[in-house]
Amino acid sequence: MTSAVPTDARWVAADSWTLTRRGLAHWVRNPGQVIFSLAFNIVLVLMFGFLFGGAMAAPGDYREFLIPGMFAMTMLFGIGLTTQAVATDKERGITDRFRSMPVSAASVLIGRAVADLLFAVLTVVVMALCGLAVGWTTHGSPGDTLVAFLLILLLRFALIWVGVYIGLSVSGQEAITGVQTLEFPLGFLSCAFVAPSTMPTWLGTVADWNPLSSTVVATRQLFGNPGWTADNWIVRHADLMAVCWPVLITAVFMPLAIGKFRALGN
């Protein structure tokens, strides 16, 4: 009995890696979505950095203020990519085939999550290079910079499970488009592009408590980029909440996603 747990764990890990490779192979065979996603993020940086940047109220250099916010926004945009991939597998019957195989639900979903997280790493690298090209730089120590990037990826890992759950719950391209559309107001209602202090008081409070804002504030501090100070608990403890928010989101949506996967077809 004592050997069953490590054996099961090894099978879960092996199956998860196999399904991760399936996701990576799909992107290699169909690179259009990857290229479009990366190009779209670059266009946003150029648009806000050069077209709208002069009109934005922000402390210090706006492009240094912007790039940490764009890191978080690109992680948010990943919800739509995950939702579309999961919903497509479900509609094509691939998910049902996985459910009929001797593979645990955790392996199928972990494989999806790891593949999407690896794509997030590529996205962060491309965004960092784009940021450097437009004048962004880090002023913190190498250790602080590494922690900042880990916080960005932690946010993405949590949002992957949101996308998995939504993808298993919706059907039809219209629903997927609706999810992708909602990413914009959720992202704009944060401190990614402007300081919440420039908003009406009630709206600024909502922006402060947006989980994206905690990650953005914490990473700006770690990168040594310009930010702002606010006399409220959530901003003063942004470094703590940049960890707590993703952990809470994962704790809610990972079990929901696994339960939804197991309940399909019942």
Tracing tokens 């993703």 back to the chain, one arrives at 246
Q: How far apart are CA 83 and CA 77, in angstroms?
A: 10
Domain residues of the chain, as ranges? 4-263
Q: Measured between alpha carbons, how far is residue 254 from residues 110, 114, 177 in Å?
A: 10, 13, 23
Question: Which residues, in sequence order, are CB contacts of 23 under 8 Å at separation 6+?
Answer: 85, 111, 112, 114, 115, 116
pLDDT at 266: 63
Mean pLDDT of residues grouped by 10 in the chain (266 residues)? 49 85 87 88 86 62 89 94 91 86 84 94 94 90 96 97 93 82 90 87 93 96 86 91 97 94 79
Q: How far apart are CA 127 and CA 263, in angstroms?
A: 38
Backbone angle region of 56, left / alpha / beta, with phi > 0 → left and psi within -120 to 50 → alpha:
beta
- Compute how many other C-beta atoms are within 10 angstroms of the C-beta atom of residue 98: 21
Q: Measured between alpha carbons, how far is residue 218 from residues 49, 90, 210 in Å?
A: 21, 37, 13
